[in-house]
Structure 1
Amino acid sequence: MWAMPPPDPDQTMQTRPLPYEARLDARSDAQLDLVVVHCTELPDLATAREYGERVLYAGSGTGNSGHYYIDRDGTVQRWVEPLRVANHTRGYNPRSIGIELVNTGRYPRWLDAAHQGMDEPYTEAQIAALVRLLQQLQREHPSLKFIAGHEDLDTTEVAAEDDPSRQVRRKRDPGPLFPWARVLQQVPLERLHAESP
């Protein structure tokens, strides 16, 4: 049986607000009931930061990112304050907190039919840090009830870039190597799927 390591008293969360954080919509704590787990599908945290800082929505001057990022060594960074709506999961942003785990996923050929394997395992340090973060978020936001993977909520299929006659999932994260049983054993949240009410 997997046992979570004890909390590291020296581990602190690093706060690194995105340049546009103040432009993201504010929300009440009561709106939060869901955590969405992602993987960055990028090689490292620095590249994820570059993507997160990109302004993709001219009207609001904001982009796409999660609220929290967990690096392979278990370091946790907060890029968006939880009471602001980050753009990380279509259709679920107003009610959810997004947590990104640094992992290559399908990088750099995300939508190639011949490159859909996600074979980088998550580190024990990442999973331990994720569990601690989820427990902290439950204490701070008692309305949290559900957890989902990005792939649970965005089931859209698109034409593969290397073979348009084939369809691939737009989002597959956190993927088949994410240890759902370990996490749910430690954190009393109910897994949510797109078909759930």
Structure 2
Amino acid sequence: MRKIDLIVIHCTATREDKSLSPAELDRMHRQRGFNGCGYHYYVRRDGEICSMRPVGQAGAHAKGHNANSIGIAYEGGLDAGGNPADTRTEEQKRSIRVLVRVLCEDYRIRKVVGHRDLSPDRDGDGVVEPEEWIKLCPCYDVESDLAEQKCRGRCRLFG
């Protein structure tokens, strides 16, 4: 089993008025040259958690971080006009929190971040600020959203 200590949260950049099935997500990733969906888990708008890639297999979701991470994506991330927005439903929020909690308990997770938080710290101040983000994914602040998340002492979130 590979060493896993990081969870990376993503959005699929799907408009809130459109649906993206797990099969369509898999097909999109295969068209990009991946050997299946790059995320390990996919959370649908109704809160359904879909297993997309075995956790024992490295993902294809965060360049430079795939070897030691688990990728979770949620359906959405764009408003009806195609602009980046936090479009998560209450069901998605709940499912993401539960999934993160379970993964923290099952693995020695040290950190949970949004994909945008893995952007380079261009000014070298130790903080990846909004003007340094390469992309907006996942369209919300993961650290603030999961701040109350506890892993029963087995992991330390957010650094």
TM-score (norm 1): 0.61
1:121 corresponds in structure 2 to 87
**Deviation per residue, 1:121-180 (Å, 9 max, x gap):** 311110110111111112221x11111110010359xxxxxxxxxx9954211123x564
Give the alignment of 1:1-197 within 5 angstroms: 28-29=1-2, 31-43=3-15, 44-46=19-21, 47-54=24-31, 56=33, 62=35, 65-105=38-78, 117-141=83-107, 143-155=108-120, 170-176=134-140, 178=141, 180-188=143-151, 189-191=156-158
Corresponding residue SS for 1:185: coil
Q: Max radius of gyration: which structure?
A: 1
CA, structure 1 residues 99+76, in 2 after alignment: closer, same or farther (shift >3 Å)?
same
2:124 corresponds in structure 1 to none
Identity level (%): 23
1:9 corresponds in structure 2 to none
Corresponding residue SS for 2:72: strand
Indicate the RMSD between aligned Cα atoms, in angstroms. 2.9
1:14 corresponds in structure 2 to none
Q: How many residues align?
A: 142
Amino acid at match of 1:127: K
State the alpha-carbon separation in 2 of the partners of residues 119 and 88 from structure 1: 20
**Deviation per residue, 1:13-34 (Å, 9 max, x gap):** xxxxxxxxxxxxxxx24x1000
Corresponding residue SS for 1:133: helix
State the alpha-carbon separation in 2 of the partners of residues 88 and 119 from structure 1: 20
Structure 1: runs of 5+ lacking an equivalent: 1-27, 110-116, 157-166, 193-197
State the alpha-carbon separation in 1 of the partners of residues 63 and 80 from structure 2: 21
CA, structure 1 residues 48+168, in 2 after alignment: closer, same or farther (shift >3 Å)?
farther
Structure 2: runs of 5+ lacking an equivalent: 122-130
Corresponding residue SS for 2:78: coil
**Deviation per residue, 1:75-118 (Å, 9 max, x gap):** 00011011100100010000000000111438997xxxxxxx42
Contact between 2:36 and 2:53, CA under 8 Å: does it hold in 1? no
Corresponding residue SS for 2:139: coil
Contact between 1:155 and 1:171, CA under 8 Å: does it hold in 2? no
Corresponding residue SS for 2:148: helix
